[in-house]
Every structure is written in C-alpha cells, then in structure tokens.
Amino acid sequence: MSASKGPALMPRFRVLLVLLSLLAAPAADAQPLDEEKKLSSLAGEYLDLSCKLNPSWASSLGYRKYDSLLDDFQSSAVAERVALARRHLALFQEVDAQKLSVGARIDLSLLVADAEATIFTWTELKPQKWDPGVYNDALGTAMLYLTLLPDDSPLWPERLRAVLARAKEVPRLFEQARANLDSASPVLVKLAIAQNPGHAETFETDLPRRFDKAPAEMRADLEAACAAAAKAVRDYQAWLETVLLPATKGDWRLGSELWRKKLRFTLQTDLTPEQILESAWAAFRATREEMLAIAEPLHAEMFPDHRHEEEGEERIDAIVSEVIQRVSDRHSTRATLFADVEKWIAKVKGFIVWRDVIGLPPATDNFVVEETPGYLGASATAFFSPAPPFEPDAKKAYWISPVPVTGDPEVDRRTEESLLREYNDYGLQTLTIHEAFPGHYVQYWYAQNSPLASIHKKVYASGTFVEGWAVLAERMLYEMGYALDDPANLLIHKKTFLRTPLNAILDQTMHTTAMSDEEIDKWALDLLTKKAFQEEAEAKQKLRRAKVTSTQLSTYFVGYLELSRLRDAYRAKTGADFRPREFNERLLNLGSIPPRDAAKLLLRQEEGGDAK
C-alpha cells in the first residue's frame, strides 16, 4: 500500500474509515436509497452515451466499448452531443440532492458541471471552427490509448483491430477539419503544424512495429490503412501550411465574456476573476521578495566585488537574475536528461519516506519515465499521463519532452542551452516533485485506489484539484526541509513557484485585454524573462501556451490557493494533533474533486454550515 510498511497501514486504515463514514452520510431525515439508484442509473447512461459520442476520450478512460470509432465533428454529431447534455442536465436537476449521501451529492455536482460545460463548449465556444488542436488531440488520443500495452499483452490482436478501424477513419477526420476550420488564429495553426507530424510518425513507424502482433490475415489491411492514414496526415499538413495559415486571420483571444464563462466551468470555484487576479499579483510580488532574501547571501559569495545600489523592484531584478544565471550553469545535457530525472526521483522519494510526508505507491506499480508522444511534444516540457480510470493497473507515465531539433544547428544549440538552463539540476527536482512524487503520480494513485472515489469522481476529475495538489506538494516538501542546506535549490524552487501566480495573471490578462498582439507579446515576454527570470525558450513556450489553452493555466494558482487554505484551516482545527501525512492521505483519498468540496468534507461542514 505504501513505501512505509507495517505500522503505517493502521493509521491509513483509520483515515479511510473516518472518510467512508463521512462520504456515506446522507442529509438529516433522508431516505437516499431510491434517489441514489436513480442517480446511478442516470450517471451510467450519461457516461456511456458521452463515450459513444467522444470515442477517443472513452479510450483514454479505458472504456473499451467504442474503441473502433473515431470522433465525428460534423454538425449533426455536434448537435447530438449538445442534445445529450441538455437532456441529462434536466434529468440530473430532477434528482433531490438532499436525499443523497455526501459522496453522491458531489457526484451529482460533477455530472451537472460536465453537462453544462458540454453545452457551453459546443454552442458558444465552438472550438471545431477555430482550433485545429481539436482534431490533433482527437487523433492522438485515439491512437495512443489503444497502444499503451506491454509487448506481451494478449490484448494486442483486439487493439489492432481497433487501430485498423480508426486508421480507416483518419481521412474523414481531416476532411471535416478542412470543412470546419474557418476562423483559426495563426498561433493555433502554427502549433498544429508543429505537432501534426507526430501523427505521421505514429502510422509510418510506431504502429508498423506492432503489426506482427496482429492475426496474419489482418496485417495487409493494417499496412494499407496506416499508409492511407499517413498520407491523409501529410496532405493535411500541406493544407495547414499552404492554405489555412496564409488565409487565417482569427483571434486567439476568447474575450472577457467567453473567458469568464469558460473559467467557471474549468475551475468550479467560488472565487471571482477579480479575486483570483488580485491574489495572484500579491503572491507573485511576495515570492519575488522571498527570492531576494535567499539570493543576496549567494550573490555576496558568487560576486564578492559586485555591489548593487538599486532599490525595490530593480534590486530584485538585478541580484536574483545574476544568481539564477550562475546557478543555472548546473544542468543536464541532452544525452543525460532522462538519467538525471531518474536520479532526482530517487532523491525525492528518499526524502518523502524519511519525513513521512505520505505513503507512496508500491515499487511494483506500473510507473515509467519516457518521452512525450510526438503529437504533444510542442506543448510543454513535461506531462504526467495517469492510468485510465477503468484500467487502474495500466502504465502511468512521467513524460519528458526531448529537446527539439529543427535542423538549423545554431537555432538548435540556442534552444537546447536555453531549455536545459531553465530545467537545471534544481529545476528538474521541483519538476519531478510536481509531476510524480508526491505530485500527479501519487495523487492519481490515491484517487484510483481509494474506496471513496467513485468512477464519476475519477472520470470527471477536477483539474483545479489535480494541479493545485501538485503545486502544494512542491511547497510542502521544501517547507519540510527538502534542500534545507542548499539555498540555490530553494531559490530555483521559488523561481518555479513564480509560474503559479503568473499563469493566472497571463491567462486572465491576455484573454480579456484590449492590447494588440504586439503589445501582449512584449508585455508577457518582459514579465516572463525579466520579472520571473525565465529563459527565452521557456518564456516563448509559455506565451504560446497561454494563447492556446485558455483558463487551464488558472487551475494551478486557484487550486494551490484553495488547497493551501484548506490545509491551514485543517491545521488550525486539529492544533497540536496535526500530522502532515494524515492530512495528505485524507485529502487524496477523496479523489480529484473540486477543492471547495474537499474543504467541506475534511472540515466536516456542508453548505449552510451544518456540521456532519
């Protein structure tokens, strides 16, 4: 159950008993059985039909019923998604929440939120009209989650039949993309151009290596279908480059009204955008002050003859920047990057066990470190890919994007140096804490293995909780003494944390501003490089990400803010009895639910203040 064996199991067992009784408790004088059966039936029907209409998403969940289908974005299929969401939203709203247990009530709120978000997405946002990423993600997800199998798995023949069926649909998918995309912005098209070749590699290189696992009579059909799919990918690439990109004039900004609506569905928080922005700026400024206090002694050691007379913000900019530049000389090479990540994993895990931060997944769990799939490689430096909710024993992957290669030696040299300096020896440690231990990997492991987390809490997981926990995990380890004797490490950790409030600042400001593109680019890059001390390659990547992933960047800060406040309230409630491990395990055993719901449960308080 955890890396700490023996006696550590009993406290966790008691934690589960307490939380199980809490989640199962219905409201006073309720008769929940019939109402919970009603909700269960509706929820199961909604999930199944949603999977049928979004089959690549279904495969990512490990829901295998629709593996042979590929997503459809013609107008009738979009209308079907909306009709399903409207019909079930009305049915969900007929369920009497007061007759449900607390856990079922959270499930109901998640289902309602998903139905409302689905209606908003396809009736107001209409991403199929302006975002080529819709098609890129659908195809990438559809093929990736068919092939995350060990080489010796007996499921390969079945999965390759699904690959064959989906490969045949690739030309149709891109025909729909050509017909639908009429208002894309250049930044979104350029991202698709950068990522789309990963699909060609899938059909021309990755999948053919698996053909020997298919029945002999299927192999010729697989070869032909994959060849036709690869041609469709390359034809689509040519269309993106020569037709869509020169013609597109769309704006990547959502604008204030759409952004605010989308933010509500993304975050599921009671905080207003104004409160989020104010808190983000306050956290950003406070962290910079903390960085100066750490950097000044280091600066005196590193540059004994270099004195600064600046004051205020200028002093922070000058001193912190110089120290970070020197510290960032300590970094991996392209060749050692993955080996170094493994080294930092071992160090971080050792600290977690030593300080009893949280019970870790067993060493036999299916966790790997590997390269990011090609169709995602231009999006971010690292990802965590959890096991699908319906297949909890499947591979869990900490993905690292390799340093990109353009073919231009000078460009590649500068990009490599810039990225490796950004993710220097210390930056890689914070990244590993966030993505794996005890961040995303450990959090998802608890959610998957907890008897408290229903399938709906896993399927409709809160991104705000997921990202908030990962950031909280970073802060928690350093507060508990990780790298206590290494101020350079602490300084880079603080630099990495600057991204958290900055993400929310960029997200809101960029999508609601009246500034021109040129003004936005200058403002954002200055903020990223001069105030947040990021390397140029990382700053440019974040600028693009802020443009193409509206509202997602806000999940980091809002999740961290709400979970930090929850931890503080829990600590105040328990006083001298507060134990970090107990809190962490109680929190993660709830599943990936919105932080506001986690607060109500852990503080044993419901809407209206009734204690449970």
**How large is the angle between the packed helices 102-120 and 256-267, nearest 10 degrees?**
150
Preceding omega of 171 cis (within 30 degrees of 0): no
Tell me the pLDDT band of 379, cut-offs 50, 70 and 90: low
| Predicted local confidence at residue 117, as pLDDT | 98
Instruction: Give one word for 95, left, alpha or beta, with left for phi > 0 and alpha for psi -120 to 50.
Output: beta
In sign, the C-alpha dihedral spanning 496, 497, 500, 506 is negative
| Predicted local confidence at residue 409, as pLDDT | 87
The percentage of the chain sitting over the pLDDT mark of 70, rounded to a whole number, equals 93
| Predicted local confidence at residue 25, as pLDDT | 54
127-157 pLDDT tens trace:
999 999 999 999 999 999 999 999 999 999 9
Mean pLDDT lowest for which of 28-42, 438-452, 462-476? 28-42
- Close Cβ partners of 24 (under 8 Å, ≥ 6 residues apart): 101, 102, 103
Instruction: With a cut of 50, say whether residue 491 has pLDDT above it.
Output: yes
Identify which of 327, 326, 379, 325 has the alpha carbon closest to the alpha carbon of residue 533.
325
The arithmetic mean of pLDDT across residues 538-545, rounded, is: 96
CATH level 2 (architecture), domain 33-125: Up-down Bundle (1.20)
| Predicted local confidence at residue 513, as pLDDT | 94
| Predicted local confidence at residue 279, as pLDDT | 98
220-231 pLDDT tens trace:
999 999 999 999
Alpha helices in 379-486 (DSSP H): 409-422, 425-435, 440-449, 455-459, 463-479
Write the DSSP string, 4-71: S-GGGHHHHHHHHHHHHHHHHPBPTT--HHHHHHHHHHHHHHHHHHHHHHSHHHHHHTT-GGGTT---
| Predicted local confidence at residue 607, as pLDDT | 38
The arithmetic mean of pLDDT across residues 323-339, rounded, is: 96
Instruction: With a cut of 50, say whether residue 6 has pLDDT above it.
Output: no
Instruction: With a cut of 60, say whether residue 289 has pLDDT above it.
Output: yes
Coil, strand, or helix at residue 103?
A: helix
CA–CA separation, 402 and 192 (whole Å)? 18
- Type of residue numbered 329: D
| Predicted local confidence at residue 24, as pLDDT | 56
Mean pLDDT lowest for which of 357-366, 372-381, 464-473, 529-538? 372-381
| Predicted local confidence at residue 407, as pLDDT | 84
Q: What are 382's strand-pairing partners?
A: 400
CA–CA separation, 446 and 458 (whole Å)? 11
Tell me the pLDDT band of 22, cut-offs 50, 70 and 90: low
| Predicted local confidence at residue 354, as pLDDT | 98
- Close Cβ partners of 612 (under 8 Å, ≥ 6 residues apart): 22, 25, 102, 604, 605, 606
Coil, strand, or helix at residue 559?
A: helix
| Predicted local confidence at residue 185, as pLDDT | 95
The arithmetic mean of pLDDT across residues 111-120, rounded, is: 98
- Close Cβ partners of 395 (under 8 Å, ≥ 6 residues apart): 148, 366, 367, 368, 385, 387
Average pLDDT, rounded, for the chain: 93
Instruction: With a cut of 90, say whether residue 16 has pLDDT above it.
Output: no
236-271 pLDDT tens trace:
999 999 999 999 989 999 999 999 999 999 999 999
Could you state, in order of their start, the residue ranges of all structural domains in the chain? 33-125, 133-247, 290-360+409-560
Instruction: With a cut of 90, say whether residue 9 has pLDDT above it.
Output: no
Tell me the pLDDT band of 411, cut-offs 50, 70 and 90: confident
Instruction: With a cut of 60, say whether residue 10 has pLDDT above it.
Output: no
What global pTM score does this model have? 0.93
The arithmetic mean of pLDDT across residues 166-184, rounded, is: 97
Tell me the pLDDT band of 19, cut-offs 50, 70 and 90: low
| Predicted local confidence at residue 610, as pLDDT | 34
**Residue pair 376/348 in contact by the 8 Å Cβ criterion:** no
